[in-house]
Chains A and B, each alone.
Chain A
Amino acid sequence: MMLERNPRGRWVWTDANGTRHEQVVVVRAFPVTAPGQGVGIMDAEGHELAWFDRLDQVAQPLQDLLREAVSEREFLPEIQRLKSVSSLVTPSVWTVQTDRGEARFMLKGEEDIRRLTGKTLIVSDIDGVQYLIRDPLVLDRHSRKLLDRFM
């Protein structure tokens, strides 16, 4: 069982029987709520080829390769701080500090801030790029105050 990258930059999965599957993708089942659990390998048609219950129990070097393949696809910046908003009424341009660096995006309407489960919020910008706020209560005072105006 091995995952490797071909010269075209695509992932190739060789399963226990030695069959090679080109152009596979590695996906997480719960990217937000349980990133360490439930990782699957899917073929180009979207059929499941392999499943790992827990990422940290996968042997090396496969574990690192899985992580690499997953991180290539997943993009859900977590907002850590709201630096500024261009206006308190939407549409409004937000400048935020995320775990992936500073970003600016436009929020089209208040309805684009959605509650996922529990306290977690998902903010979708005008282009459909999504940002995560894991817990609004742990943001600093300034960010909370700004966020509050939109919630």
Chain B
Amino acid sequence: MTGCFRLSFMTPTTTTAQRNVIPQAWRPQVQSALQSHENALALLEVDLDASLRFAKSAVILTDRRLLACDEVANNCHSWGLEPNDRLSLADHGGVCRLEFFRQDQRLAVWRFTLGLQPAALRLLSQFEQRLARESDGQPLQSLLAGTTCPVCQAPLEEGADECSRCGREDLTPPSTWTLLKLWRFGRPYRNQLLLGFALTLASTAATLVPPYMTMPLMDEVLIPYQSGKPIDPSLVALYLGGLLGAALLAWALGWAKTYILALVSERIGADLRTTTYRHLLNLSLEYFGGRRTGDLIARIGNETDRINVFLSLHLLDFATDVLMIVMTAVILFSINPTLAVITLLPLPFIGWLIHLVRDRLRTGFEKIDRVWAEVTNVLADTIPGIRVVKAFAQEDRESQRFADANRHNLNVNDRLNRVWSLFAPTVALMTEIGLLVVWGFGIWLVAHDSITVGVLTAFLAYIGRFYTRLDSMSRIVSHTQKAASGAKRIFDILDHVSSVPEPAQPVALPERVTGRITVREAGFRYGNRAVIRNLDLQIAPGEMIGLVGHSGSGKSTLVNLICRFYDVSEGVIELDGVDIRQLRIADFRRQIGLVLQEPFLFFGTIADNIAYGKPDATRDEIIAAARAAHAHEFILRMPQGYDSLVGERGQGLSGGERQRISIARALLINPRILILDEATSAVDTETEKEIQKALDNLVRGRTTIAIAHRLSTLRKADRLVVMDKGVVVEEGNHDQLMALEGAYWRLYQAQQRQAESEGAVLGGAAQEVVA
């Protein structure tokens, strides 16, 4: 039953292909299962068994059979492939299901978790290509020449299993090395940084002078006085002057260093923020679609700030501390090596102890962060829903929920405070013990006349300083980790390449764009789902097209593709005969006016909002646009006219008024192409008439693509395009399409019925209950 599938096309290239297809672990088994001259086309390792328990087995597609191999039992079941065989893939609740059908018979079913879906799609596409090849006789070799990405169908590089185009965000845990990437932002300031480092060195050295001065003060002034010699005022003046000088020098240098480095780090932080934001704005809509606004705001705001603080404060402190400890060690060894060894001996031990406690504290603090988020979540949940809370009289329950979250917070804090309160005294105790050791050993050395009292004093002064620094040094680990994870999150954005790239050599648009749009064999996949398939559409200059179809039929996606918010996966979209991917994005978008269902007004005056696309517009132009959009009159009725503040935190406007402002905004830039995406859906019929009048002015003479749920709003369209499941199913004007009695006719009938029943409901004065 295995058919006569062109084995003659098996050239050496297929063996390479086979090697790519079969993972190492399955190779021996696959080798033994395959017949001679049989080539594996794809292998899918499924991770669930029939009862949905985790168990590995493999589904192998070859050029003539489909095999299912069991890892444990080490046996394979195989089916010879027949022309009517079909594979289908579906998923529900995290489990994918791959089914193998022959005629109407299900021969086999495999289940696996969602993560394996790309691999399954690979198998599926190989299976479909095999079918296609069988029907049109295309050689196998060309099909195997390159592997394609299962998601975006882009060709994969040799040996790469993840597509670079739609690859996921880097998922490795943040590493400290990420911080080195920040050098890109530090480079422009390298001279200042170098100066700052030199100043750090000098100021640290200056702070080490005063303890050194205690040595001669002790040995040459105080001790001789006790043994009966009078004090020499000039000597005292010299040493005290030295102390004062050193202190002043340390002050000046410390100031200069902190100032310069803070200046530089602020600039690095600012550069980081602006660069990230600029990069973010240039990313495609696809990127924004997959992320939460709050997360992006936090990345640009908090993370850059955290990095900034790390650079200007923690890193600087740490560098100073390290320098100080090294210098102190050198000085101590130069004065007296034996005492130096004794002094420095407990240092690593104390450092280790501090680090240990710190580590526990850090996890505790992280926990507090999370618990705190829980507390704020309760608030974020309740306050926007306050009407519901009050309507159902659940104030007590909500306040109980808040109290619970708070108690949880308290518990975690209490536990942490037990360690935390112990911490500072413990560091103090260790410092004292360290000092005690030095005292004891120092006295013993003094008693044996190995050192002078002055040397001992100097030693005590030195180590008193750096034991206390050990605490702050131990924090560097957690600060570094936090900054590294912040840097990673920033570079996640910065390293993301826009899926709508600027062309390397842009084609210039002609002076006068006519607005002819041609869509040829366009295909688009969103994730793994094909949203647009093999779509052809011609729009003449000045023509108005109405896009019609159920929700999910691909209307909005088509519009997004025409605006180049996304790029087509297959085919081309052309403006006046030029592929839009060859045009500069800003040039191209300038030709497009967009009116959305939910008009977005920025915070600012009405005039600012109308002139958003053309900031240098004159007042006359703005008024003309507002008049044409039927917005002039209601704007004048507002207390400050065109200077009234709108947008978030601004004055409230009705949906229709906002829409007319956004129409004026589109009119002002005088685009060749106009896109109306459900521009009148969010308003009532009365307002719709107002907007419709404004739109009629806007549409005149422009290539227009209008999406509307209400078919009645598309009466003015020259042509209606009916879409279903990503393809154009019908085209023509209203009467033609009605005569066809096809998809459009059904949609129209359904809306008529709905309108009638709505009329009946409204007649019965049904009151909707707020819930």
Tell me the A residues contacting B by CB distance below 8 Å: 7-9, 71-77, 86-87, 89-92, 98, 100-103, 105-106, 108, 110, 125-130, 148-149, 151
Contact = CB atoms under 8 A, between A and B. Distances in A.
Nearest to B52: A75
A151 B173 contact: no
Contacts of B55: 101
B93 interface: yes
Nearest to B105: A7
A89 B94 contact: no
B100 to A, nearest CB: 10
A73 B481 CA distance: 42
Nearest to A129: B94
Contacts of A110: 370
B95 interface: yes
B35 interface: no
B109 A9 contact: yes
Interface in B131-173: 168, 171-173
Given A90-B173, A125-B115, A75 B105 contact: no
A95 to B, nearest CB: 11
30 contacts: A7-B104, A7-B106, A8-B106, A9-B99, A9-B109, A71-B51, A73-B92, A74-B93, A75-B48, A75-B93, A75-B113, A77-B54, A86-B173, A89-B481, A100-B48, A100-B54, A101-B53, A106-B171, A125-B115, A126-B168, A127-B94, A127-B117, A128-B94, A129-B94, A129-B95, A129-B113, A130-B93, A130-B94, A148-B367, A151-B370
Task: Pick the most buried of A9, A74, A92: most chain B CB atoms within 10 A of its CB.
Answer: A9
Contacts of A129: 94-95, 113-115
B94 A8 contact: no
A8 to B, nearest CB: 5
Nearest to B106: A9
A149 B363 contact: yes
Contacts of B172: 91
Contacts of A108: 171
Interface in B319-366: 363
A102 B99 CA distance: 25
A142 to B, nearest CB: 16
B204 interface: no
B101 interface: yes
A90 to B, nearest CB: 7
Contacts of A87: 173
A100 B53 contact: yes
Contacts of B105: 7-8
Interface string B552-589: 00000000000000000000000000000000000000
A126 B117 CA distance: 13
Nearest to B373: A111
A74 B95 CA distance: 8
Contacts of B370: 110, 151
B541 interface: no
A116 B105 CA distance: 40
Interface string B170-190: 011110000000000000000
B54 A103 contact: yes
Contacts of B54: 77, 98, 100-103
B373 to A, nearest CB: 8
Interface of B is mostly: mixed
B485 interface: yes
A99 to B, nearest CB: 9
Nearest to A106: B171
A102 B47 CA distance: 10
Interface residues of B, number: 31
Contacts of B53: 100-101
A91 B106 contact: no
Contacts of B363: 149
A138 B173 CA distance: 29
A32 to B, nearest CB: 12
Nearest to B108: A9
A90 B370 CA distance: 14
- A-B complex: 6 closest residue pairs judged by Cβ atoms: A9-B106, A101-B54, A129-B94, A127-B115, A127-B114, A100-B53
Given A7-B106, A9-B106, A9-B109, A128 B114 contact: yes
Nearest to B91: A128
A3 B172 CA distance: 48
Contacts of A72: 52
Contact of A75 (B94, B168, B485): B94
Nearest to B100: A9
A126 B370 CA distance: 20
A9 B172 CA distance: 41
A103 B95 CA distance: 14
Contact of A92 (B51, B104, B115, B173): B173
A90 B115 CA distance: 18
Nearest to A98: B54
Contacts of A76: 93
Contacts of A151: 367, 370
A110 B370 CA distance: 9
A88 to B, nearest CB: 8
Given A8-B104, A75-B95, A91-B173, 4 more contacts: A8-B105, A89-B174, A106-B171, A129-B115
Most buried by B among A90, A126, A127: A127
A8 B101 contact: yes
Interface string B719-735: 00000000000000000
B298 to A, nearest CB: 12
Nearest to B55: A101
Contacts of A149: 363
A78 to B, nearest CB: 12
A56 B93 CA distance: 25
B115 A126 contact: yes
Contacts of B115: 105, 125-127, 129
A149 B174 CA distance: 17
A139 B104 CA distance: 47
Contact of A91 (B101, B171, B367): B171
B120 to A, nearest CB: 12
Nearest to A91: B171
Interface string B83-113: 0000000001111000101001110010001
Given A8-B101, A71-B52, A127 B113 contact: yes
Contacts of A91: 171-173
B179 to A, nearest CB: 15
Contacts of A98: 54
A103 to B, nearest CB: 5
Interface in B472-496: 481, 485
B54, B92, B370: which has the most chain A beta carbons within 10 Å?
B54
Nearest to A102: B54
Nearest to A124: B94
A90 B174 CA distance: 8
B113 A89 contact: no
Interface in B44-70: 47-48, 51-55
Contacts of B47: 103
A73 B101 contact: no
B760 to A, nearest CB: 23
Contacts of A100: 48, 52-54
A103 B93 CA distance: 17
A130 B173 CA distance: 21
Nearest to B171: A91
B50 to A, nearest CB: 9
A126 B171 contact: yes
A130 B106 CA distance: 28
A98 B52 CA distance: 12
